[in-house]
Amino acid sequence: MKDIADQIKKNKNFYIFGHMDPDGDCIGSQLGLGLFLKRIGKNVRLFSQGKFDRVEIKRFEPLFHSEFVPFDVPKNDATAIIVDCSTPDRTGIFADSITGYKTIIIDHHSSGTDFGDLRYVDPDASSNTMLILQLIDELGEKPTKEEAELLMLGLCTDTGFFRHLTSGGYRAFETAARLTQAGASPNKIYFDINGNRTLDSRYQMAKSLGRVTPYFDGKLLITYETMEDYIAVSPQARDIDTIYMLLLGTENVKAVANIKEDNGSVTVGLRTREEDIDLGKLAGEFNGGGHKKAAGFKADGTIEEIRNQLVEKFHAIFK
């Protein structure tokens, strides 16, 4: 982290990238870091391919460039910072744009590839925003109220409001205490994430729950969403996090998968409540990634084809 702080001190211009289909941790990391860098006198541009489908991040979409727009400076006068990405392709359309720039990686995923010039990767961090706070500390500063709110958004997103933490998660509570002291309101962030849901979102939830198929005596539950679902109901009506929570609370369940159809391919989300299951490793076998308890991947194929492949992979876990 000291080397990253030194690079930030040396340079004036920064591009901040996150992953495709961003969540609150990715957006909170990008915006929190971006606001901080601007506050200490840096030039910053934020980039995201989107989609900004989640209710809690939709309002931030206008703050991001959807195409690469560089500063009018030589490449060695600008630095690219990639947050919450375990592989360069997770930045989507911006993967090639980063070529030629000094690159900083700040990430907390348990799987991925070794890329970038300066790397700070801590898989034990409960959210990527925890690492952004560490960087602010390293530079001898404290977060403002607005920065703290963004960092808290990421922390609450990736911990499921602390539901996902185990006995080793004490650092998350220390971070939450600091961010709350800086002015962040956990109550406000809770309703930013979980409130303002449409009635359609509840109908869509019922449809997804009705499609659940159990495997291995109920240890694995798989559900899915079709393109017709996506067209018929607004993206903001998706409430997959609540579906994960409900399914993981089901008797005997150890893992849950949601398969979402997406124009000839599928996007798969994976969740577990078990310490001895590494979903990040499993997702890596599909060229995806993530954490031990929450991971995902994108793959070519139909819902049925990918479902069969998933069941085969989990067979090795539950045999």
Q: Using DSSP bridges, classify how beta strands 294-300 and 289-290 pair: parallel, antiparallel or unpaired.
A: antiparallel
Q: What pLDDT was estimated at residue 285? A: 93
| Cβ–Cβ under 8 Å, residues 43 and 14 | yes
Beta bridge partners of 44: 14
Q: Quickly state the pLDDT bin for 219 (edges 50, 70, 90).
A: very high
pLDDT digits (tens, 9 = 90+) for 233-256: 776 667 888 899 999 999 999 999
pLDDT digits (tens, 9 = 90+) for 151-195: 999 999 999 899 888 777 899 999 999 999 999 999 999 998 888
Q: What pLDDT was estimated at residue 163? A: 85
CA atoms within 13 A on the CB side of 274: 16
Q: 306: closest CA among 273, 274, 283, 290?
A: 283
Ranges 88-92, 146-150, 179-183, 260-264: which has the least confidence: 260-264
Q: What pLDDT was estimated at residue 165? A: 85
Q: What pLDDT was estimated at residue 207? A: 92
Q: Cis bond leading into 281, ω under 30°?
A: no
Ranges 43-47, 99-103, 153-157, 233-237: which has the least confidence: 233-237
Q: Is the pLDDT of residue 53 over 90?
A: no
Greatest mean pLDDT among 29-33, 84-88, 157-161, 244-248 lies in 29-33
Kindly state the average pLDDT of the residues 259-276: 91
Q: Is the pLDDT of residue 199 over 90?
A: no
| Cβ–Cβ under 8 Å, residues 75 and 49 | no
Kindly state the average pLDDT of the residues 78-104: 95
Of 249 and 53, the structure prediction assigns the larger pLDDT to 249
Beta-carbon count within 10 A of 145 CB: 11
Q: Which helix (H) or strand (E) holds 10?
A: helix 2-10
Q: Is the pLDDT of residue 64 over 90?
A: yes
Kindly state the average pLDDT of the residues 37-47: 98
| Cβ–Cβ under 8 Å, residues 100 and 75 | yes
Kindly state the average pLDDT of the residues 209-227: 96
Look over the chain and give the mean of its residue pLDDT values, rounded to a whole number: 93
Of 168 and 315, the structure prediction assigns the larger pLDDT to 315
Of 195 and 24, the structure prediction assigns the larger pLDDT to 24
Residue count (the chain) = 319
**pTM to 2 decimals?**
0.79
Could you write out the three-class secondary structure of 260-297?
EEECCEEEEEEEECCCCCCHHHHHHCCCCEECCCEEEE
CA 162 to chain centre: 15
Of 33 and 228, the structure prediction assigns the larger pLDDT to 33
**The tokens 């709350």 sit on which residue?**
180
- Distance between CA 275 and CA 46 in Å, rounded? 35
Query: By percentage, how much of the chain surpasses pLDDT 90?
Result: 77
Q: Quickly state the pLDDT bin for 55 (edges 50, 70, 90).
A: confident
Query: By percentage, how much of the chain surpasses pLDDT 70?
Result: 99
Cα–Cα distance list, 134 to 87, 216, 261, 286, 308 (Å): 22, 42, 38, 32, 42
Sheet holding 102-107, edge to edge: 43-47, 13-17, 78-83, 102-107, 118-121
Of 200 and 213, the structure prediction assigns the larger pLDDT to 213
Ranges 165-174, 194-203, 280-289, 306-315: which has the least confidence: 194-203
